[in-house]
Structures are given as C-alpha cells and as structure tokens.
Amino acid sequence: MIRGIIFAFLGGACITLQGVANARISEDIGTWQAATVTQLTGFVMALLIYLFVKDGDLGGFRKVKPLYLAGGAFGAVIIYSEVTAIQTIGVTFTISALLIAQLCVTFLIDTFGGFGRPKSKMGAPQFIGLALMIGGVLVMKL
Amino acid sequence: MGFGLVLAAFAGAMVALQTIFNNRTDVHMGSWATTTWVLGMGFIASLACSLIFEGGRTFDLQNMKLWYAFSGLIGVGVVICLVLGVKILGPTFSVSVTLTSQLGFALLFDSMGWLGLEKVAFDWKQLAGVAIIVAGIYVFKFGGKKKTEPPELQASAFKTL
C-alpha cells in the first residue's frame, strides 16, 4: 500500500519534472529539437527494457488499428504546447489547465463512447469535480 | 495568459486521446512494447516538425549539454512508477495520487525557480487554488461512477485517467 503510494507519487513528480526539464532544454536548443532528443533517449531505453523483460510483443502492432498506433506522434505537439505554455504562464497554471482539459476530454469520450471504450455513466460527482477544478484555477487567478 | 492556457488545455486534450490510444495498443503489445512504440513515433514526429520548422538548425546543437540527452529517461521512470502504482493501488487511487503529486510539484517548481525557471513568488492563492483542484480530482475519481470496464482495459498500464 505505502509502496504503491510512493510509486504513484514519484510518477507524478517525474511527469512535472519532465515538463520543466523540457522547457529548460528548449531554451538552449529549441523546442522541437528538445522533443526530438528526449524522445530518442526514451525510445532507446524503453526498447532495452522491453528486450530485457520480454514482456508483451512488439510484433503485436499488426493487430492494433493504425489510428491507435499513430497516437505516439501526438508526443511532438504535446511537448511543444506544454513547453510553450510553461514558458508563458508558469508550471502551476500549465499543469492545472492541462489536467482539467485531460479530464474533460476523457469524460466526454466516456460519456458518448468511442475509440473502442465502453460508455460509462457520468454522474453529479464528476460534474462537481470538474467544476471544483475549474474553480481552483479561477482562485489562482484572483 | 490566455494563449498559454489554451496551449496547456490543447496539450491536455491530446494527452487524453493519446492515453486512450496507448491503452488500446497496450492490450495487444504489453506496456514496454507500447512505450517503445509511442516514444519511437514521438521521436519521428518531433524530428519531422523540427526539420519543417527549423530546417538546418535542427542539428545545430552546440548549446547541448550532456544531461539533456539523459533527460529522456525521466519518461521511462514515469512509466515504471505508473505501472507499479496502478498494479498495487488500482487505477482510481493511484491516478488520484499521481495527479495530486503533479500539481504539488508544479507549485514547488514555480516557487523555487528550479532548473532556471522564472521564479514565481509563492502566494497563498496559488496553494488554495491547487488544494481546490485536488479536492475536485478526488470528487471526480471517487464519486460513484458506474463503470463496467472489460478486464483487459483495467490491466493496462495506460490508465492515466
């Protein structure tokens, strides 16, 4: 239990650190270049881990719809937008707006179904949750 | 301010889509093959954008410091932590902790000005705002949601939301 919380916590810390590091690197070599360099390193490392743990099957991509396979390419615009946002409005506002939009889109897709996901009923708690989150950003802007 | 917020929201929307797509890929390939694939695609797309928008400056890397190359390992650390977190705690609790930590560290980075960030003076409104957002996350995640997800989706590492 505690171990799980520590992993989840470190994961969150790393996600934010990644955004900030990308913003820092972008200042020196350019944003697209930063996205290229960091994802190349990540790709090589992930490949090594995959070859080491032999968990799953890279050849399984034949069974995946091309649209889903192309999702990885979003990484380029995600990094570019996040870095530019961090440089303009700071880390806290960027992460807040990013998370709210992320939850809203997942919420919409789950409400209407799509992309092979089952429809799920979203209730009052989810609306209240989103409203609170948007309220939080407004409080920060006061 | 507005432009930055729009960009951040756009990134969030793309992250949501990508997470769902990765989840579908994970079902057939497993977490590490998926991570390898996703980062490979991201690398190719970024290189293409760099060549289109920056041209020859793409390879103009004299300001490159050694640690920049290793910074990409952070993303791999993210996957390891999220996979283990979800495995031990289940997606709902694990994701809530991750989102809270993301916001907490965002505030910390801003107020400390680490890694050459422009230091944003810490102010209580920011902390209050983050606290309200975190409360919203827990209401959203733990509020009675009737979800009937097939088991193969639940087992995926890409349960960021």
Neighbours of B62 (CB within 10 A): 6
Q: Return the higher-pLDDT residue of A93 and B61.
A: A93
Q: Is the pLDDT of residue B1 over 80?
A: no
Region A7-11 average pLDDT? 96
Whether residue A2 lies within 8 A of chain B, CB to CB, comes out as no
Average pLDDT over chain B, rounded to an integer: 88
Q: Calculate helix-pair angle for B31-54, A74-89, nearest 10 degrees.
A: 70
Coil vs helix vs strand at A118 = coil
Burial class for A142, CB neighbours closer than 10 Å (0-12, 13-18, 19+) = exposed
Question: Exposed, middle or buried by CB within 10 Å (0-12, 13-18, 19+), for A112?
Answer: exposed
Residues of B in contact with A109 (CB under 8 A): 16, 20
Q: Are residues A10 and A71 in the same domain?
A: yes
- Complex ipTM: 0.94
C-alpha dihedral sign at B76, B83, A97, A135: negative
The full set of domain ranges for chain B reads: 2-154
As a whole number of angstroms, the distance between CA B103 and CA B99 comes to 6
Please judge whether B13 and A116 are an interchain contact, meaning their C-beta atoms are less than 8 angstroms apart.
no
Residues A20, A75, single domain; the answer is yes
Does the pLDDT value for residue B150 go beyond 60?
A: no
Number of domains comprising chain A: 2
Same domain, A82 and A94: no
Q: Is a pLDDT exceeding 80 seen at residue B159? A: no
What is the pLDDT at residue B154? 46
Regarding whether A95 and A71 lie in a shared domain, the answer is: no
Query: Which structural domain range is residue A50 located in?
Result: 1-88
Please tell me the distance from the alpha carbon of residue B22 to that of residue B100, in angstroms, as a whole number: 22
A61 with A115, same domain? no
Are both A12 and A71 inside the same structural domain? yes
Each residue's pLDDT tens digit, B37-84: 999 999 999 999 999 999 988 998 888 999 999 999 999 999 999 989
Give me the pLDDT at residue A21, please. Answer: 96
Q: Please list the residues that pair with B146 across neighbouring strands.
A: A121
For B136-149, the pLDDT digits (tens) are 999 998 887 655 45
Residues A54 and A26 placed together within one structural domain of the fold: yes
Residue in the block written with tokens 């400056």 = B57
Whether residue B64 and residue A29 make contact (CB cut-off 8 A), yes or no, is yes
Residues A78, A108, single domain; the answer is: no
Q: Calculate what percentage of chain B has a pLDDT beyond 90.
A: 66
Count other Cβ atoms within 10 Å, centred on residue B57: 14
State phi, psi for A38 to the nearest 5 degrees. Answer: -70, -35
- The conformation of residue A119, written as its DSSP 8-state character, comes to P
Q: Are residues A115 and A70 in the same domain?
A: no
In angstroms, the CA A83 to CA A18 distance is 10
A131 or B144: which leads in pLDDT: A131
- Hey, are the CB atoms on B42 and A57 less than 8 Å from each other? no
Query: Which candidate from A15, A47, A103 shows the least CB-CB separation from B140?
Result: A103
